[in-house]
Amino acid sequence: HHYLNQTIYFSTISPVCLCICLFLSVCVCVYVALCVWLCVVAVAVGRWECLQGEKEELENRFQEQLKELRVQKQKELQALQEILRHEQQEETELLQKQQHNQLEQLCSQHHQQVEEMTQSHEAALQEMGASHTVIILALADLKMAHEQEKKSLEEEFEKLRLSLQDQVDTLTFQNHSLRDRAKRFEEALRRSTDEQIDALAPYQHIEEDLKSLKEVLEMKNHQIHEQQLKISELERTAQKNVLLEERVQVLQQKNEDLKARIDLNLALSRQLSEENANLQEYVEKESNEKKRLSRTNEELLWRLQTGELSPRMSPNQSPLHRPPVDSASPTRLPPCPP
């Protein structure tokens, strides 16, 4: 302002002086602006140097904290690995004990069931064998008695048939002879009285003959009735034989059923033997699997101890971005190997 006042003052003197004054004023303003800009640049440089120092200090502090965190995390990781190893070892031993107990229990139960089923099977086989023998003997006795009775009945029936046939033939012949005599008697009646008398002379005893013939017929009828009774008795015996044959068939069917049951029990025994063998094979496989798991656990523990399975630190898990690790939190534990 002082220069402006002087410029205004000198402007009243002459235009040349006015131009000189204006030029000098502009130069002064440029100088002042340059000085101000230099001051600002100096302040900015000082600020930048200060920030650079703070940056280096922060980087040094960050590196120190990073080293401390790495050491701390390594210690925590080792502690967690040790805890995990103990827990895994205890869990493995517990699982092995449980598996061993279950296998022993299954084996004992299976052996007990096999023994019980074998004993019951043997008892059933002995019982069925004894009953089968008794039934076979009874069937043989019944068949023999039936054959003998059938043979005797057939012989008796044949004898009765022959005797009845003889009696029927005799009675038929006598009937024909009596009819012939009656015809001749009727023809003699048609003749003359003398001739009739002469003809009747041989037949004076006809009534006695007829009476005796009637008695003979009654006897024959009685014999025929007795023969009919015998025939009915034979029919009843034949019916009994039919019933006996049906009973023999039923016993034979029971015998076949017993044979089928014996075959079924034998098949069941073979199946139980196969199941026992399969169970033994399963127990051996489980034992081998348990040994393999034990070797795998030992290998994993060795790898954990040697640090081959230590987790890598990702960029977004740097100490400045992730929260502090809680050793009691299960989510912060390293991944457990399968």
Asked if pLDDT for residue 68 goes beyond 80, the answer is yes
Going from N- to C-terminal start, the domains of the chain cover 3-203+219-298
Q: pLDDT value at position 79?
A: 86
Give CA separation, 282 vs 96, 99, 294, in Å: 16, 13, 18
CA–CA separation, 226 and 232 (whole Å): 10
Q: pLDDT value at position 323?
A: 39
Mean pLDDT of 106-124: 78
**Residue located via tokens 């809680």:** 326
- pTM to 2 decimal places: 0.31
Asked if pLDDT for residue 334 goes beyond 50, the answer is no
Give CA separation, 32 vs 21, 106, 141, in Å: 16, 103, 151
Asked if pLDDT for residue 315 goes beyond 50, the answer is no
Asked if pLDDT for residue 308 goes beyond 70, the answer is no
Q: pLDDT value at position 320?
A: 35
Listed in sequence order, the residues at least 6 apart from 255 whose beta carbon sits closer than 8 Å to its beta carbon are 132, 135, 136, 139
Encode 5-17 in three state secondary structure. HHHHHHHCCCHHH
Q: What is the pLDDT of residues 253-282, one digit of tens each?
A: 877 887 787 788 778 778 877 887 787 788
Asked if pLDDT for residue 71 goes beyond 80, the answer is yes
The three-class DSSP label of residue 335 is: coil
Angle between helices 206-306 and 15-190 (to 10 degrees): 160
**pLDDT range class, residue 242, cuts 50, 70, 90:** confident
CB–CB of 139/252 below 8 Å?
A: yes
The percent of residues above 70 in pLDDT, for the chain, comes to: 74
Angle between helices 15-190 and 2-11 (to 10 degrees): 130
Mean pLDDT of 83-112: 82
CA–CA separation, 153 and 145 (whole Å): 12
Asked if pLDDT for residue 314 goes beyond 70, the answer is no
